[in-house]
Structure 1
Amino acid sequence: MTITSFLTMAEQGVFDIVNNLGSIAVRFLLLPIEDAANFYFTKKLQRVPLEQQDEKAVAEASNVLFLLIRFMTLFGLSAVFLGVPIAKTVLALYGGETLTSSVGPFLMQLNCGLILLLALNGVTEGYATATVSKAELDMSSFFMVCTSGVYIVSALCFVYLYSSPGLVIANAVTLCLRIARSCYLINKQYEETPYSPLKNSFPKKWEIFALMLSFVLCSFVSYFVSSEPFLPTLSPLVSGVLCGFGVLWVIVVNEPESLDIVLSRLSFLPMRVQSTIRALTRQHQRVD
C-alpha cells in the first residue's frame, strides 16, 4: 500500500480487510496443494529432458499435472461462480455497513477472480520450478524480477485510474504473465513426448453447467430473495453453501477415478477427509 499515495486511509483499510478475507482460501487450501504438488514433482522427475527419463514416471507426472490443472480450474471457477453473488453478504456479516457501503463488495468480487489465477499459477509454476533445467530456472528468477517491475508500474497506473481495485487488477496482470510463462515451459518440455498435460484440461461440460446454475441461483437469492423483509439476510450465504455441496457432488460423480489418483499421489488433505471422498467415489462406482 505504501507504493502509492492515491488512496485515502479509509480506502486502504477496506482494501486490507477484503484482502485478508480473500487470502483465507489461499492460505488454508491452495498453499498445501501447491506444496504437496511441488514435493511430488520434485521426487518424480529430474531436471533433464523428459526423453531421457523413465517413461512410466513421465506418463504418471503428466497425468497428475493434467488432473491438478483441471481441479485447480474447478476450484477457481467455484470461487468465481459462488463467491461473486455472495460477496456482499460475507462482507456485511464481517464488517457491517462500513464495508458494504463502499467499494468493498466489488473488491471482494475481484478477489474471487484472483483466486482462479492464483490456483492456476500455483500448480503450473510449482511444476515448472520443480522440473525445468537449471538454465530455465535462472531465467525464471530474472523473469520474476521483471514481473515485480510490471506490478509496480501497473499498480501505479490502475490505482490512479480505478482506486483500490487497481491493486487487484495489477496483481491479476502479473499472475497472467506468470501463468503464460509456466504454460510455455510446460509445452516446451513435453513437445518431444506423446503427452500434453495442458490439452483438454478444462473442466467437463456437466461441471461447468453445475457452476453456471449455481451462479444463477445464488444471484437470484442474493439480489431478490434476501431483499424481502421476511427473509433472513443469511439466505445468500446458505444458498452458496448448498450450491457448493452440489458442485462438489457433480465433481465426485464425474471424476471418481481422477480424484482417487490425485489423493493417492498428493497428501494435502487430512486422512479423514481423504477417506470420506474415496468412500463417496467408490459408492458412486458401485451404483454405476
Structure 2
Amino acid sequence: MSGRSSTTTPAAGAPNQLRIVEGAHEDLDSGSELPFRCGKILGLGASAVVQMAEDTFDGRVFAHKMFRSTVGRVQNPWTRRAFLNEIDILKRLGTHRHIINMQWSYVHGNEFGILLSPVADEGDLNSFLSAIRNTRTLPTPEQQSILYRAYGCLANGLAYIHSHAIRHKDIKPQNILVHRGCMIYTDFGIALDGTHQSTTTTGLAEGFTRRYCAPEIVEQQPRNSSSDVFSLGCVFLEILAVLVPHFTAIVSDHRPYAERLPDLFDPDKLSCHNQDEPSIDEQQV
C-alpha cells in the first residue's frame, strides 16, 4: 500500500495495543488483533459486508466495511481495486456533511477493511422510503421534512463530489444514508477520480445498477458526470413517489428508468391516483 502512511498510537497502560487514528492505514499480519469488535450487520453487498464496530480502546462506534477478497476459494482482484479506490476517493473528498467519512483502513491477512462514520440512525434511503410505503399512509411531518430537505442535501453533495472531478457512478437509494435528518453519500468503490484523466469514459461499463443508470451507460456510449445527475434524478422521483402518492407507479414499475423515459413525462402513466380519493391536503386535515 505504497503512498499511505501507517500510524499507530499506543494506549495508556497497553503499549502494544493498536489504536484507531483518523485517516491512518495499517498493514497487519493475520495474527494481529484488530482494535475494534464487530456487532450487528448493517448491510450486505456483492463484494463487502458492513457491520457495526466499537473501538475497544475508547468505545467509539463506526460502520465497518469489510471487503471479501475471495469468491469461494478464488482470489478476487476486483475487490482489492475497489478497496484501494474507495480509500483514495474518500481521502480526496475529505470532510463534508453529505459524504461518508473514512476514519481508518487496514489490510489484515486476506481481509481488507475501512471504518466509516457516522453509523446512520435511519439506515439507507431505500429502507427509509420502504418503511414509509409499508405503512400505507402519508409520511409523518418529521419524515416529510427530511424528504423535502433531501433534494437540496443530495444536490449539494453531488455538486461537491463533481467539483473534485469525481464521478460516483452508482447513485441509488441503497448508497445514500439517512442520519439525523441528513442525506449522506456512501459506497465509492467504483467511483472515478478524474483529477489526472477525463471524467468522460468509453468502452464497456461495469459495476452499475441498471435500474438507476443513465441511457448512455445501458447503450455503452461515452458517459460523464451527467450520468450521475440522471441517477440522482431517479432517486428524486422515488422520493417524490412517497411524498405524493399520486405517483406510486414510479416505484411499482420495476423496469430501469432509462427504458421508460417517455412514461416519466406522461402524468397519466405515472399516476395511480383514484380521482374519488381525497387529495393529499384533504388527508392531512
Q: TM-score range by the shorter chain?
A: under 0.3
Higher relative contact order (CA 8 A, sep 6+): 1
**TM-score w.r.t. length of structure 1:** 0.27
Q: Which protein has the bigger strand share?
A: 2
Considering fraction of residues, name the structure with more helix.
1
